[in-house]
Structure 1
Amino acid sequence: LSPFSEQGNPEAQYRMAIMYQNGLGIVRNDAKALELMRAAAEQGHALAQHGLGFMYLQGECTPKDAAQAAVWFRKAADQGMAGSQMTLGMMYEQGLGVEKDPQAAKRWYELASGG
């Protein structure tokens, strides 16, 4: 995977990011995990966008930043990622990183449920 990741392949970057994030077969490296997750996300990789949103939301490999999390969840949600749609619904419901908006929350929940 590493050579493909270094060549800019977003799927390889995403998978390597997960490996670095969790120390799977390699030494855990938060900075490298964030770098690779962002690189894949910026290329439009929906799972990486969701993963980067999660990193920002949970403060994993980077300081917590709910507003930045919302940006990345939105990008993944716009590509049909139900998990990101559900998370955005929760964020709008609670006003976490976005302005509280019950109608937006409802819309994202409906999209997540296939409606």
Structure 2
Amino acid sequence: MSREQDDLDMTLGSGIAAFESKQFSRAAGLLAPLAEQGNVDAQYRMAIMAQNGLGMLPNPLLAFSYMKAAAKAGMGVAQHGLAFMYMQGECTDKNPAKAVQWFKQAADQGLIGSMTTLALMYEQGQGVEKNLDEAKRLYQLAGF
């Protein structure tokens, strides 16, 4: 491993530690450059901070951009977060069909919250055609 990679890993570790201990200004300072470089862990945390105005002013555009990048890179919690943005119309236009698409990807990775939300959407016909059998299947899959 190169010296540069060690430095990046240390910065990421410090940024995540700052995020976890709610030192959001410090976390944003450490994670923003890594997020710009495409680091998925940094992108996800920057999205959360930008969405909720933690350590920075709320920035819906930035939040959506980073959440989508992390989701496209395959991070399950980011897929769930992006689906929620589409479902609620938060940081982007409300789009239940896109919400379903992203909840499905997160559910495929085993995220229980995504399975249950998706089941509810099938139960109510929100973003998808109402399908009680699919709702039941998803609830069972989620352990209900």
Cα deviation, 1:60-98, whole Å, max 9, x if unaligned, reads 011111000000000000000000000000000000001
Q: For 1:4 and 1:22, locate their aligned partners in 2 and report how far apart those are by CA, in whole Å.
A: 20
For structure 1, which runs of at least 5 residues remain unmatched after alignment?
none
Determine helix, strand or coil for the equivalent of 1:14.
Answer: helix
Percentage of identical aligned residues? 60
Q: For 2:48 and 2:106, locate their aligned partners in 1 and report how far apart those are by CA, in whole Å.
A: 17
Query: In the alignment, residue 47 of structure 1 is paired with which amino acid?
Result: V
Counterpart mapping for 1:7-86 below 5 A: 7-86=37-116
TM value normalised by structure 2 = 0.77
Cα deviation, 1:5-44, whole Å, max 9, x if unaligned, reads 1111111100000000000001110001000000000000
Q: Which has the greater radius of gyration?
A: 2
TM value normalised by structure 1 = 0.96
Runs of 4+ in structure 1 deviating by more than 6 angstroms, as ranges, are none
Higher RCO structure (Cα 8 Å, ≥6 apart)? 1
Q: For 1:112 and 1:7, locate their aligned partners in 2 and report how far apart those are by CA, in whole Å.
A: 35
What is the root-mean-square deviation of aligned Cα atoms in Å?
Answer: 0.9
For structure 2, which runs of at least 5 residues remain unmatched after alignment?
1-30
- Give the match for residue 6 of structure 2: none
